[in-house]
């Protein structure tokens, strides 16, 4: 004798599975909280304020490249091509951990591991910081420092404001 397929019965779903609607809701919430981008990301403790940061020799009203710290991510936000006519491009990465290192710098860790190179920031006063990158090259680490200033959102060009709205909306005020 062949048994009738399960779909041929008229048993309610909750009775067949042995669960309730509350159980399904709990399961969906648990799955959503484990999916990257849906779970609330912890705020990262850096010694600088969130915002758009650029090299101190630039003017906030005309800058077309810089760095973004939005509380959880750090990276470059820029227009490219002749005179910054193309883009924007955003290279923002979630910061997974920070730690204090020598000379007052805080090192950022991305992706849960440290490589040979590093990314560090050090506050130099209100809306000023030093960004240090150490990159492996042959048998050494090449270090570059960039003195940065933080630009107020309203001081940026409409084009750069649009890039921030699109890529770091939490910074728009």
* Chain mean position to CA 59: 24
Give the model's pLDDT for residue 22: 38
- Residue 104 falls inside a structural domain: yes
Give the model's pLDDT for residue 112: 74
What whole-number distance in Å separates Cα of residue 72 and Cα of residue 83? Answer: 30
- Residue 8 falls inside a structural domain: no
What whole-number distance in Å separates Cα of residue 35 and Cα of residue 2? Answer: 42
Give the model's pLDDT for residue 114: 72
Neighbours of 58 (CB within 10 A): 15
Give the model's pLDDT for residue 111: 86
Closest listed residue to residue 134, CA positions, set 152, 107, 170, 153: 107
Tokens of 7: 């779909």
Give the model's pLDDT for residue 17: 43
Give the model's pLDDT for residue 28: 35
Give the model's pLDDT for residue 33: 38
- Residue 43 falls inside a structural domain: no
| Number of domain units in the chain | 1
Residue 107 sits in a domain of what CATH number? 2.40.128
- Residue 38 falls inside a structural domain: no
Q: Which domain holds residue 137?
A: 51-171
- Residue 136 falls inside a structural domain: yes
Give the model's pLDDT for residue 4: 54
Give the model's pLDDT for residue 91: 98
- Residue 130 falls inside a structural domain: yes
Query: Hey, which residues does 118 pair with through a beta bridge?
Result: 134
List, run by run, the mean pLDDT of 10-residue segments along the chain (173 residues).
50 44 36 45 88 98 98 98 95 96 96 84 98 95 98 98 98 89
- Report, in this order, helix, strand and coil percent for the chain, each rounded to 5: 25, 40, 35
71 φ/ψ angles, rounded to the nearest 5 degrees: 105, -25
- Residue 12 falls inside a structural domain: no
What whole-number distance in Å separates Cα of residue 54 and Cα of residue 164? Answer: 13
């Amino acid at each position: 004798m062949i048994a009738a397929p399960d779909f041929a019965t008229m048993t309610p779903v909750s009775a067949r599975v042995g669960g309730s609607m509350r159980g399904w809701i709990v399961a969906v919430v648990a799955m959503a909280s484990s999916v990257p981008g849906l779970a609330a990301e912890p705020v990262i403790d850096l010694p600088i304020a969130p915002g758009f940061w650029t090299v101190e020799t630039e003017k906030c009203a005309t800058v077309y490249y810089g760095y973004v710290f939005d509380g959880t991510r750090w990276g470059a936000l820029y227009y490219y091509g002749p005179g910054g006519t193309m883009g924007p491009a955003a290279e923002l990465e979630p910061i997974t951990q920070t730690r204090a290192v020598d000379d007052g710098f805080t090192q950022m860790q991305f992706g849960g591991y440290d490589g040979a190179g590093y990314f560090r920031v050090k506050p130099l006063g209100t809306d000023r910081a030093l960004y240090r990158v150490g990159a492996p090259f042959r048998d050494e680490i090449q270090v570059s420092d960039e003195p940065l200033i933080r630009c107020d959102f309203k001081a940026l060009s409409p084009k750069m404001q649009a890039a921030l709205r699109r890529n770091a909306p939490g910074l728009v005020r």
